[in-house]
Every structure is written in structure tokens, then in C-alpha cells.
Amino acid sequence: MPLVTLDSDELSSRGTASPATPPTPWLALIGLGEDGPAGLCPEAKAALEEAEIVFGGDRHIALVGSVPGELRPWPQPFRNALPQILAERGRKVCVLATSDPFHYGIGNSLSRAIPAAEMRIIPQISSFAMAATRMRWPQEECSLVSLHGRTLYRIVPHLQPGARILALSWDETTPRAVAELLTARGLGASRIVVMEQLAGPQERIRESRADAFVLDEVVPLNLIAVDVVATRDSRILPLAPGLDEEWFAHDGQITKSEIRAITLSALAPRGGELLWDVGAGSGSVAVEWCQRHVRNRAVAFESKPERAHRIARNKVELGGLTVEVTGEAPAAFIGRPAPDAVFIGGGLTVEGLFEGAWAALKPGGRLVANVVTIEGEAKLAALHAEHGGSLRRISIDRLAPVGGKHGWRPAMPVTQWRVEKP
């Protein structure tokens, strides 16, 4: 089972290497397959034999069996593992990981805490690579996703017609849960292949249609391959910005799809950036910001608890996205990381709200504000006069019944201000 990585806050609180860096590596990070020591290369075997201390999960320790060094299972909670490893700096230490430690493994956490010169990395072929060869699928054409320690909805954005998905499972219940999710979204004809204990003596590969899933006694260590088969009635998440409002749980307080698409364009998201969505309502702008790139993050500021609850639901069901939901602005601005972009969809006239957001925004960051009231327009005009930027009014008309005929019904026009911070 893949190891859970430590978060960045935990790592930063522990510090990194001392100034007296050992001249040679003291830690060996070894990728271990289901075939145990038999699958290790000579370098990995030598590192394991000379290690004074060997850290690993219960499964890893059972696989390696008897070794000269002291075997130490991971502590509970797992976040205590890193301090224990660092406490042994200078001794011969071995850390066992699953297959490739840098593919949803512990390698990232260790490399952020221990200088590269102090570690040897001896990986094995990743579970994804093994699964791709079993399926005869080119790995570059597959979507790779981990559902281990993550919401099942992480797979939703990858459910596209004809997609090939390789997903690490959380446990033995994951394959059936994926099958049920696919069936509920009209993708029941999709093929699910469950691969258990890959590359080990107990390897087993079975398959089933999603809407007729019959596989039982699945072992916890498994990986799922999904060959997506869609129909015209399948619920497929569109790739373009400006999702229809029906995709979101909301109470009417939502940036409408056409306005949202224009707003996302004005915010100009780039990979790895942080958005503040102020007066978030349903959180639709924050959600779509995070859908643009896997490393994007957002903080949604919303004062009403029922709306905050809907944002939490939307961020999960639309992809398990990194949206933090917090309280009312501007009070909740305090202590938040500086954003790369700010969207103000409500509350612009609240005293101190713009000033707090503008002060927090990074230099070169973008701020976009939408208003529909005369008071809001007056505030935008004053801010435009002071800070520059661009103003535009967006009007949308939608066809609606008029008696027995049809006519255009205008939505409230939206005035939008966009500005970049010097």
C-alpha cells in the first residue's frame, strides 16, 4: 500500500539538515516490490545488509524478513516518522518504500527534509508502470491518479470518453466504489480491471463491467484500470471553463456560467497559484480555478454556514479539489498565505475588504471584482481612478417564454474591474 506523505507544514516545523552535513549518504531509500528481497538489485541488497536501522511499514518488514539491522515499523501517527528518521542522522539507515518512492510515495517528504547528498535512492518500477504493461496501454496515454488517502471523487475529472485510467486504491473496497460511481454517472459499460499484489507470487488480475461488478475478496493492495465507455447520456465533466450552474450545489448565489467563464479568463490562472475567492457563495469560481491545474489552490471566504457547507460539497464532488473554506472577509484574511489572484464576487463595499485583499495580494498579482449594484459601480469607478486597470460591462440575454411565444430576457448586467498589482 502506498505510503502517506507528510504535509509541508509538518516538514517546515522540523527543520532541515544541520550545517555539519555528513560527507557521504547515511540514508538509503529502497523501493520494494511484492517479490521482496528477490527483486532487489545488488546495490539495494547491500544497503539493506549494512543498515543499522531499517524503517518501513508492517508489510515491507514482513517482505524483507530477517535483516542484520534493527527493524522499526512506522510509528502511529505516521507524522512522527520523520523526526525518528532525522534523529538517526549519521548512522546507516534504510527506509523501505513501495516500488517507486517518488510516485505517490515517501520520497517527496524525505527529500524536502534531507539534503540530496545525504540520501541514496534505489527505486523499482512503479505500480503504474507495471499496470500499464499488464494492460498493454502506453503509459503516456493514461491518466494516473491516487485514491489512497484521498476522496474517490479525485477520479471524476479523468472520466472522459475513451479515457484510460490507472488508479491506486485506498483498500479492498475501492474497486466496487469506483464501479458504483461510474454506474451512477452513466458510465456503466466501462471496463474495470482489478490488479492485486502486482509482481508478487500472489498476483491476480480480474475484470468486470462497472454496472455488473461481481469481483469479491479483493485484497487491500490493488490497483484499478478503467477503460471508460461513455454514451450520450453519460455525466461527463466538461473541460471548458464556465460550467453550467446545475453542476453546483447552490441557493442562487452563484456566478452565472457565462460570467464565470469571462471571470476565469480575467483571473488568468497559472499552474500552482493560489486564489482568494471573496464572497464565494457556492464557491464556483474557486472550484473552476482549481480545475484548471492540479497544483492550483483556493481559499473561499464565505460568512454563511449553509453556503460554506455547499462549497465543501462542491469542491469534493467536482474533483476533490484543494479549496479551503473559511469565514467572513476581511477578518478571515489575517494569517492567510498571500494570494496570486483575488476574485471579489461579493462584499466589495464592506469597509476594509478591498484594502485588506489588495495589501495581501502578491506584486504582479491579479484582482478581479464583479458588481451588479449602483453602489458597487461607484466603488469600482473610484478604485479604477486610483489604481488603473480595465473596466467592462457584461450583459447576457437568455431566451424565455413570453406567453405562447419567446423573447430575450436580460440578466442583470455585471460590471467587472480587472487590475494587476504593481
Q: Tell me the CATH number for domain 128-227.
A: 3.30.950.10
Contacts of 327 (CB under 8 A, 6+ apart): 301, 302, 303, 308
C-alpha cell at 12: 517546515
Sequence spans of domains, the chain: 8-124, 128-227, 245-420
Do 128-227 and 245-420 fold alike per CATH?
A: no
Task: Name which of 29, 42, 32, 41 is nearest 95 in CA terms.
Answer: 29
DSSP string, 333-352: GTTPPPPSEEEE-S-TTSTT
Chain centre distance of CA 39: 32
Which amino acid appears at position 214 of this protein?
V
β partners of residue 414? 394
Domain 8-124 top-level CATH class? alpha beta
C-alpha cell at 327: 469565514
Q: Which CATH architecture has domain 245-420?
A: 3-Layer(aba) Sandwich (3.40)
| 422 residues of the chain, pLDDT tens digit each | 344 444 444 444 444 444 554 458 999 999 999 999 999 999 999 999 999 999 999 999 999 999 999 999 999 888 889 999 999 999 999 999 999 999 888 999 999 999 999 999 999 999 999 999 999 999 999 999 999 989 999 999 999 999 999 999 999 999 999 999 999 999 999 999 999 999 999 999 999 999 999 999 999 999 999 999 999 999 999 999 999 999 999 999 899 999 999 999 999 999 999 999 999 999 999 999 999 999 999 999 999 999 999 999 999 999 999 999 999 999 999 999 999 999 999 899 999 999 999 999 999 999 999 999 999 999 999 999 999 999 999 999 999 999 999 999 999 999 999 999 99
Task: Name the one residue in this structure whose C-alpha cell is 487590475.
Answer: 419
CA-derived radius of gyration, the chain = 26
Phi, psi for residue 252 in degrees, rounded to 5: 100, -20
